[in-house]
Amino acid sequence: MSGAREFAQIPPLQDLVGRALRGEVTVSGLERLRGGTKKGVYRLELAQGSSVIAYVWGAAENFWPQDMCSSPDPDSDPFAHADGVDLFVGASQALESLGVRSPRVHLVERAHPELNADVAIAEDVRGSTLEEHLAHGDPDLVGRVLGRLGEALAAMAVPVQTGVGKVSRPLLHDRSCESVVLDRALVDVAEGARRRPELARVAPRLERRLGEFFDRVEARPEHGVIHGELGPDHVLVDEGENPVLIDIEGLMYFDAEWEHTFLRLRFGDLYEHLERPGLDPARMDLYMLAHHLSLVAGPLRLLEGDYPDRQEMLDIVEYHLGRALAHA
């Protein structure tokens, strides 16, 4: 995207907030929260003393290069770019049906004419992220939150669907989770190899290793729900010490092992609080290597745009490149 990005301002959001809260309210302050790569997240302070969150999906809010934001057929690719208000609303409804907390949605406005974007007005969970609690908080509180997060993950993992895919899109009934992961991992090897010579030198060996892991996986008929990128930065902690899942657009019916390999990467030693019995070691091996490859290729794609926190992405690439090369 060329030129300066024009982020949302208060006037177009004022009317939306009034309609969302069904009353006369005044938006007295706006803060664009850090971290989003596909949507803008704004805290709107109200003169009445409360606040809400506005999620904004539009071209100015998406830092991914445009040719990497779309799949030729997103309905056929469970890992297609997880972006858009429909995915957000569908994920919110699916989590609510499972008793899993995410910010309550007050109002959805598609194709807002002034913002040239889709917008959702939602509850502002003012608590810190679990990541912030891990860094600075009370270990006993962290233990309680992790225990409740483990309960939420167990509820999500109950097998309910024979199909695979995003909760708001048509499901695939002719593909297995492991075949979807293998195909994506092979693409990530190829794309990473085009950008990093170290990966190019060992790409054939990594492709063989992925195939070996894939051959060990046995068929599975049903799947539960996974978040897809559930790190401690995607969990808020509310006033009741309940975990609240955010960045939920990637919610899909898929193997729990895909979630748990990512959890193991993100939570480190604390993963023991979230581990559950019955996970398939063969899937864990395949999915862990696939995650490492994705976390090389994905950030490298993002860095071809104008994403501002470049060193953060480079650090992710270097770490996961090292882990991927160790499998070669």
Model pLDDT for residues 311-328, shown as the tens digit of each residue: 999 999 999 999 999 998
Domain ranges, ordered by start, for the chain: 10-123, 130-325
Model pLDDT for residues 268-307, shown as the tens digit of each residue: 999 999 999 999 999 999 999 999 999 999 999 888 888 8
Model pLDDT for residues 61-108, shown as the tens digit of each residue: 777 666 554 555 677 789 887 778 999 999 999 999 999 999 999 999
Q: Token pair for residue 294?
A: 């994705």
Whether 7 has a pLDDT exceeding 90, the answer reads: no
Model pLDDT for residues 9-44, shown as the tens digit of each residue: 888 899 999 999 988 889 999 999 876 678 889 999
Q: What mean pLDDT do residues 45-69 have?
A: 80
CA atoms within 13 A on the CB side of 263: 21
Could you tell me the pLDDT band of residue 1, with boundaries at 50, 70 and 90?
very low
Report which of residues 147 and 76 the model is more confident about: 147
pTM of the model: 0.90
Domain covering 130-325 in this structure, CATH number: 3.90.1200.10
Per-residue confidence (pLDDT) for residue 4, from 0 to 100: 62
Per-residue confidence (pLDDT) for residue 134, from 0 to 100: 95
Which residues have a Cβ under 8 Å from the Cβ of 281 and sit 6 or more positions away? Answer: none
Q: What mean pLDDT do residues 163-179 have?
A: 95
Which residue type sits at 39?
K
**Architecture of 10-123 per CATH?**
2-Layer Sandwich (3.30)
Helices (H), 169-196: 177-195
Whether 203 has a pLDDT exceeding 90, the answer reads: yes
By C-alpha distance, which of 182, 196, 168, 190 is closest to 86? 168
Helices (H), 74-114: 85-97
Per-residue confidence (pLDDT) for residue 35, from 0 to 100: 61
Q: What whole-number distance in Å separates Cα of residue 86 and Cα of residue 169?
A: 9
